[in-house]
Structure 1
Amino acid sequence: MELTLLGTGAPAGLPRPGCPCAACATAVGADARAATALLVDGVLLLDLTPGPALAAARAGRTLHGVRQVLLSHPHDGPALEIPAGLPAPARVPDGRELALISGHRVRAVALDSPGTGYEVGGPDGRRLLYLPPGAGPAGLPPGGSRDTGPDRQTAAPPEPYALVLLDVLGRPDALARLRAAGSVGPTTDVLAVHVDHDVPPGPELHRRLAAAGARTVPDGTTLMVGDYRAVPDLPRRTLVLGGARSGKSAEAERRLASFPEVLYVATGGTREGDAEWAARVAAHRGRRPASWRTAETCDLVPLLAEAEAPPMLIDCLSLWLTDAMDAVGAWDDDRWRSGEARRALAERVDALAAAFRSTGRTVVAVSNEVGSGVVPATASGRRFRDELGRLNAAVAAECEHVLLVVAGTALPLRG
């Protein structure tokens, strides 16, 4: 199947009319996007962008061969502009299938929000899935687990779609559920559409999408469904650095929000009677998808060694270091000067770095960036600063992707 994206933006487009925000101000040229509309093999039009005939002409296409126009947005969606000669737009009821004379088959997919999703099968046997803005498919598992008990028959996993188009940034959980159900596999090309002004366009937009295993293309792009070459490679190991309240934890969580069955490893543990710490923990838990599991431990090496395990988020290495320094007596000046504690701590750091090097699972680790010219007033503070710097460098050396988060903005250092 050949697919032309006449528009890739949110219903109001990007930039939004009259919006003064920074994202809209910089959405010019290839970063400007009309409302999302898809032209399939010149015969099927999914949704209508403003000025669809002109949009098709700019893409080197024509709408003269369109035999079916289908709508996906809720009934209170954007106003429709229907060029002369196009069939009247229609909507397929959920679960029903529409066969076109061209050999295409369209099945309406039920959603967890108003609107209609469409699965389109082409004459070549390729399939794509298209979802409206803010929507995810209904009836899929919320996480990666399935009921495989002895009293329940487990259906065979579906064949992954060749192409999936959805609101990746607005509904990363929908992508996670598609992955959990087997509908999105390693060879599925995931395209972000309905792109809005929540994320600045340009490098930041592409960076966030790549972290989710997705991409986006400019309006007017034509592609062949099933072109595997465009699927982004996901970094296996990522280190996210940042200062206090820089947004590093939120950045790390965002990088795995589109994946099911994530293991969140909290190295801080619990602190009895500390209400402020409990509030911090609750805020972190409230941000995370319900399908994620949590483990409170500093024993990271065995977790990194697990084979074929789901992605893991470690938050954070600085608390892991605190625990390691406690365990080897590194705060004791005499033990540190003698070299005993120093050697024991170095062994633990080396073992952790080696575990990062050999791990086969996707892992995102968070740590505090230290120093920046500030010299701690105490010997123990200077010791911790120095050792955290060494730990960060050792782990970063084993990661494909390293980020520094400053004021909520992620700056790529590697990858």
Structure 2
Amino acid sequence: MELTLLGTGAPDGLPRPHCPCAACATARGPLARAATALLVDGAVLLDLTPGAALAAARAGHSLTGVRQVLLTHPHDGPPVELPAGLPTAGRVADGRVLTLISGHRVRAVPMDSPGTGYEVTAPGGERLLYLPPGGAPAGLPTGNGNGGAAGGGSGTGRSGARSARDAALAPYDMLLADVIGRPDALARLRAAGSVGPTTDVIAVHIGHEVPPGDELDRRLAAAGARAVPDGTTLTVGEYHAVPDLPRRTLVTGGARSGKSFEAERRLAAFPGVLYVATGGARDGDQEWRARVSAHRDRRPGSWRTAETCDLTPLLTGEGPPLLVDCLSLWLTDAMDRVDAWDDEAWAAGGEEALRGRTGELVAAVRATRRTVVLVTNEVGSGVVPATASGRRFRDELGRLNAAVAAECEHVLLVVAGQALTLRG
């Protein structure tokens, strides 16, 4: 099955007309994107956008062979002119299956928001799923979760005929979705087994929420997805290297730099994440309670939370991805346990005991087989602490950060909400 992306942008395109934002200002030339529309094997057009015939011609294709034009989402503004010779554009009722004379089968997939998704099966059995902007499939089965692992690497595409039962259970060969706007849709599909390690995930409906270029590529790669320019032709089911997902990531930065948000965003497209809060409960501290509540409210509803500083069993055990926030609070607890704040206790064995605890944690990070994102703080770039215990904490956190970073494939420094890649 051959797929040509006539456009890959949001309904308003990129840059958005008359928008003064930085993302739109830099979306020029090859970074500009027309509204998303897909041409499947020259026979099916998914979404009718302005200039579709010209976009097809630029990509080396014609719309003369199109037998079906399907819309996925409500279109605001003036009606789009239908190019001469094309059948009238329409929408398929949820759950209905169309069998075209070309041999393609198109099934309408219900969404959790206004719009319709389409599952297209080629005569040879290759399958793709195309979702509208801002939409996620409704009523997904729970599945066995095999497609939900946050694994990386590459695999072979699937082709050839399948039985109806096998096709229903197998992951799609390709997914085209609003990965930036609805990462939870990708997480749901992974949880249901509809997206697996070999599924080629293509981001479409790309707007100005993320600066185009390297930053867009970085965020998509973290979700196991990629973007392609307008006019690209892809072969569904053909081998393509899936973006490698690092097993261990360390996110560091100063206070209110956006490091926790960056860490959460890296796992937003994966189901069943265990959020490990090392801060614990602080009875009577309203400000701390408000911080914890804000963090909890912005996490996906499918995530679970564990409040613990006992990280080694979690790291060495099997399970879904872990997000540990944060190592600085873990170190505070570790220093409390060995009375490292007291100079005499520190000299009388506290230092050695702390080294043992941090060494155990670093070894667990090295040995883990789970996908892990760890958050920490940078405290060595400001004012030198006035007390010996404060300087001790600063020094120990610096040592811990360096040791954990050495065991991580990916290390990010977040400054003013911008993530800088230090490794990976």
Q: Structure 1 residue 78: deviation in Å?
A: 7.1
Q: Give the counterpart letter for 1:266 in structure 2.
A: A
Equivalent position to 1:386, from 392, 395, 400 = 395
Q: Quick one: percent identity of the two aligned structures?
A: 77
Residues 265 and 295, structure 1, Cα contact 8 Å, conserved in 2? yes
CA deviations 1:196-235 (Å, max 9, x no partner) are 1011111111111111111110001111112342311111
Equivalent position to 1:236, from 225, 232, 247 = 247
Where do residues 6-405 of structure 1 align in structure 2 (5 Å cutoff)? 6-74=6-74, 76=76, 79-140=79-140, 158-307=169-318, 309-338=319-348, 340-405=349-414
Match in the other structure for 1:151: none
What is the alpha-carbon distance in structure 2 between the residues aligned to residue 227 and residue 33 of structure 1? 24
Query: Where does the alignment leave 5 or more consecutive residues of structure 1 unmatched?
Result: 147-154
SS of the equivalent of 1:314 reads strand
Question: Which stretch of structure 1 is more off in the superposition, 112-121 or 368-377?
Answer: 368-377
What is the alpha-carbon distance in structure 2 between the residues aligned to residue 127 and residue 73 of structure 1? 21
Match in the other structure for 2:421: 412
What is the alpha-carbon distance in structure 2 between the residues aligned to residue 69 and residue 47 of structure 1? 7
Q: Structure 1 residue 119: deviation in Å?
A: 0.1
- Cα RMSD (Å): 1.7
Q: Structure 1 residue 404: deviation in Å?
A: 0.5
Match in the other structure for 1:152: none
Question: TM-score, with normalisation over the residues of structure 2?
Answer: 0.93
Q: Give the counterpart letter for 1:320 in structure 2.
A: W
SS of the equivalent of 1:230 reads coil
What is the alpha-carbon distance in structure 2 between the residues aligned to residue 127 and residue 187 of structure 1? 12
Q: Structure 1 residue 348: deviation in Å?
A: 1.1
SS of the equivalent of 1:319 reads helix
CA deviations 1:221-257 (Å, max 9, x no partner) are 1111123423111111000001000010011011111
What is the alpha-carbon distance in structure 2 between the residues aligned to residue 251 and residue 341 of structure 1? 34
Rate the CA distance shift 1:7–1:212 in 2: closer, same or farther, 3 A: same
SS of the equivalent of 1:117 reads strand
Q: Give the counterpart letter for 2:89 in structure 1.
A: P
Residues 163 and 188, structure 1, Cα contact 8 Å, conserved in 2? yes
Q: Give the counterpart letter for 1:317 in structure 2.
A: L
Q: Structure 1 residue 370: deviation in Å?
A: 2.0
CA deviations 1:114-158 (Å, max 9, x no partner) are 111000000110100000000000102689879xxxxxxxx9982
What is the alpha-carbon distance in structure 2 between the residues aligned to residue 14 and residue 364 of structure 1? 31
Q: Structure 1 residue 49: deviation in Å?
A: 2.5
What is the alpha-carbon distance in structure 2 between the residues aligned to residue 350 and residue 92 of structure 1? 59
Match in the other structure for 1:150: none
Residues 111 and 137, structure 1, Cα contact 8 Å, conserved in 2? yes
Rate the CA distance shift 1:145–1:121 in 2: closer, same or farther, 3 A: closer
What is the alpha-carbon distance in structure 2 between the residues aligned to residue 52 and residue 129 of structure 1? 21
Rate the CA distance shift 1:18–1:176 in 2: closer, same or farther, 3 A: same
CA deviations 1:13-67 (Å, max 9, x no partner) are 0000111100000001111000000011111110122211111111111112111
Q: Structure 1 residue 88: deviation in Å?
A: 1.1
Rate the CA distance shift 1:237–1:21 in 2: closer, same or farther, 3 A: same
SS of the equivalent of 2:6 reads strand
SS of the equivalent of 2:240 reads helix
Q: Structure 1 residue 77: deviation in Å?
A: 7.2
Rate the CA distance shift 1:373–1:283 in 2: closer, same or farther, 3 A: closer
Residues 158 and 181, structure 1, Cα contact 8 Å, conserved in 2? no
Residues 162 and 225, structure 1, Cα contact 8 Å, conserved in 2? yes
What is the alpha-carbon distance in structure 2 between the residues aligned to residue 74 and residue 115 of structure 1? 7
Residues 226 and 243, structure 2, Cα contact 8 Å, conserved in 1? yes
Question: Which stretch of structure 1 is more off in the superposition, 199-208 or 156-165?
Answer: 156-165
Residues 113 and 135, structure 1, Cα contact 8 Å, conserved in 2? yes
Q: Structure 1 residue 101: deviation in Å?
A: 1.1
What is the alpha-carbon distance in structure 1 between the residues aligned to residue 7 and residue 254 of structure 2? 39
Question: Which stretch of structure 1 is more off in the superposition, 157-166 or 215-224?
Answer: 157-166
What is the alpha-carbon distance in structure 2 between the residues aligned to residue 26 and residue 75 of structure 1? 26
Count of residue correspondences? 405
Rate the CA distance shift 1:12–1:271 in 2: closer, same or farther, 3 A: same
Q: Give the counterpart letter for 2:422 in structure 1.
A: L
Q: Give the counterpart letter for 1:304 in structure 2.
A: L
Residues 143 and 176, structure 1, Cα contact 8 Å, conserved in 2? no
What is the alpha-carbon distance in structure 2 between the residues aligned to residue 18 and residue 144 of structure 1? 47
What is the alpha-carbon distance in structure 1 between the residues aligned to residue 106 and residue 140 of structure 2? 20
